[in-house]
Amino acid sequence: MEIIPAIDIIDGKCVRLAQGDYDKVKIYSRNPEEVAKMFADEGFRRLHLVDLDGAKAQHIVNYKVLEKITSTTDLIVDFGGGLKSDDDLRIAFESGASMVTGGSIAVKNPEILIKWLKKYSGEKIILGADAKNDKIAVSGWTESTELDLIPFIKEYVSKGIKYVICTEISRDGMLQGPAVELYKKIIAAEPQVHLIASGGVGSLQDIEMLNEAGIPSVIVGKAIYEGHISLKELSRYLS
């Protein structure tokens, strides 16, 4: 199972939210580049970097942080948050992102995401399918929709999506366990998709549970920052 550490950015700082609530921000570092370097030094290959300012502003904001991380580490960075235009995408890739995640745009401007898929392929464009009560949520989770999660994913797999990051919002930042049953349903519906679980991981047992369920990748953030899981414990999953 692939472990992907996460860094969420607000105002250039490494933070975490609880259930996507911008009023529940906790700052963990004022130097996200150093946090990224720590992950790289421990042997991690991937990083999930989220521009929370961008998600709220509806355009890329913290690309300088992305640039610093990719220029000082060898991490493969998937970048998301506020990517809404061709210009946003260009800036993200020019700043060193290897992959980008499209969430809100997949709902609000699907034709743009499909155009990106055709141009860059499913190896570089990840679908962000964030949900609450099996319904898609967008705009930094500040807006709910009536779109059902699994049909939404299936539609984009038919368009060429290979990677899906799915966050169960009610669990995000709560450290009370991931939505394992939900992820099992997604894998059963779309077995060929590379599912990246996100949200709720609070212990090594949670990761082991996801691994046993056959989930190929998991994003871990707050559990690391709060000391619930040590990087040494995660090293068993690093090849």
Q: What is the DSSP letter of 30?
A: S
CB count within 10 Å of CB 136 equals 23
Q: Which of 122, 113, 123 is nearest to 88 (CA)?
A: 113
CA distance linking residue 2 with residue 74, whole number of Å: 17
130 is catalytic: yes
Asked whether 44 and 238 are in contact (CB, 8 A), the reply is yes
Out of 53, 130, 172, 206, pick the active-site residue: 130
Out of 8, 88, 172, 206, pick the active-site residue: 8
Give pLDDT tens digits for 40-89.
999 999 999 999 999 889 999 999 999 999 999 999 999 999 899 999 99
Q: Which of 211, 74, 195 is nearest to 131 (CA)?
A: 195
Q: What is the DSSP letter of 236?
A: G
% of the chain at pLDDT higher than 70: 97
> Which tokens hold the place of 39?
């992950």
* 163-167 and 194-198 beta bridge pairing: parallel
Rg (CA), the chain: 16
**Residue ranges of domains in the chain:** 2-237
Reduced to 3 states, what is the DSSP secondary structure of residue 149? helix
Confidence of residue 114 (pLDDT cuts 50, 70, 90): very high
Alpha helices by DSSP H, 102-164:
104-108, 110-120, 149-158
Candidates 3.40.30.10, 3.40.50.720, 3.20.20.70, 3.40.50.620; correct CATH number of 2-237? 3.20.20.70
CA distance linking residue 102 with residue 12, whole number of Å: 21
Confidence of residue 27 (pLDDT cuts 50, 70, 90): very high
Q: Is the pLDDT of residue 142 over 70?
A: no
CA distance linking residue 224 with residue 92, whole number of Å: 26
